[in-house]
Amino acid sequence: MKCNICPRQCNIDRSMSQGFCASGDTIRVARAALHMWEEPCISGETGSGTVFFSGCNLRCIFCQNMEISRGSAGKDTSTQRLKEIFFELKDKGANNINLVTPAHFLDHIIPVLKQAKDEGLDLPIVYNTSAYEKVESIKKLKGLIDVYLPDCKYYDDRLALNFSSAPDYHKIAMNAIEEMVRQTEKCVFDDKGIIKRGVIVRHMVLPGHTADSIKVIDSLYERFGDDIYISIMSQYTPVKSIDEYSELNRRLTKREYKKVTDHALLIGLTNGFIQDGEVALESFIPAFDCEGV
């Protein structure tokens, strides 16, 4: 069967070769563990039950998780084992099951989610994605995903082309997010502040590109208003030298981040998250050592 699950339209048989996502036709997982470094409403006090999938259909040149996004780290995992992992994370006290970069394994994950729910998995399911996804693919998840956690990385098509080889990124991501909002509607939280349903859109401010960040936030707020939460992230960490784009070889400055967050407040954004202090630390990048797999 030829794979066209994402906008890349690779049209290849993943049992025979790999497409842009660098993945075969078997689920590959690099880590399954409680994670404390998500937004407070996702991690809470006990942690988010994160399952990090190997491979990625975006593969940004500055990727913070490059070890797995290129598909090298991780362990081939059966659908039966994936289901067991979900329940093991629940037993450890996870607030939710957080599927990190799952898009290229969507057709494998959907039946696992259905079976797990039938067998009593009652935690919210978080779909943590780059948002470079087809609307048709997101529609397949209706009724299975409680919380969508998409990125909105770029507004400018030139940046999307240069950094992620995806010149159509903004249009595709916005349409995918619109379908996510349609499915979940406004965010709902429990009495402890843990999100149970809704959409939180993440945007990581890149050094040297605050103007694009402002356009991203404007476009999100204009289109979705208070129907979503926007998480403005300052944790960019350079992971390798990128000679062609020297601005990416440093961390974000406090002044750059404040410029973006001040603008968000100026336009009236209240449903959102900002990061305080020095957060661009390596501790935000977990060890992809197959823990829990």
Q: How many independent structural domains does the chain possess?
A: 1
Taking the CA atoms of residue 187, residue 191, residue 192 and residue 194 in that order, the dihedral angle to the nearest 10 degrees is -20
Residue 49 CA to residue 144 CA, distance in Å, equals 16
**Confidence (pTM):** 0.96
In eight-state DSSP terms, residue 254 is: H
Domain with residue 243: its CATH number is 3.20.20.70
Quick check: 156 and 212 in contact, CB under 8 A?
Answer: yes
Domain hosting 154: range is 20-282
pLDDT at residue 71, as a whole number: 64
Give pLDDT tens digits along the chain (293 positions). Answer: 899 999 999 999 999 999 899 999 999 999 999 999 899 999 999 999 999 999 999 989 999 888 888 767 899 999 999 999 999 999 999 999 999 999 999 999 999 999 999 999 999 999 999 999 999 999 999 999 999 999 999 999 999 999 999 999 999 999 999 999 999 999 999 999 999 999 999 999 999 999 999 999 999 999 999 999 999 999 998 877 787 888 899 999 999 999 999 999 999 999 999 997 655 454 567 888 888 99
The answer to whether position 10 is within a domain reads no
Residue 272: which of 282, 280, 260, 281 has the closest Cα? 260
The answer to whether position 31 is within a domain reads yes
pLDDT at residue 282, as a whole number: 46
The answer to whether position 5 is within a domain reads no
Residue 129: which of 149, 110, 156 has the closest Cα? 149
Residue 87 CA to residue 93 CA, distance in Å, equals 10
The answer to whether position 194 is within a domain reads yes
The answer to whether position 48 is within a domain reads yes
What are the structure tokens assigned to 120, written together?
A: 């009593």
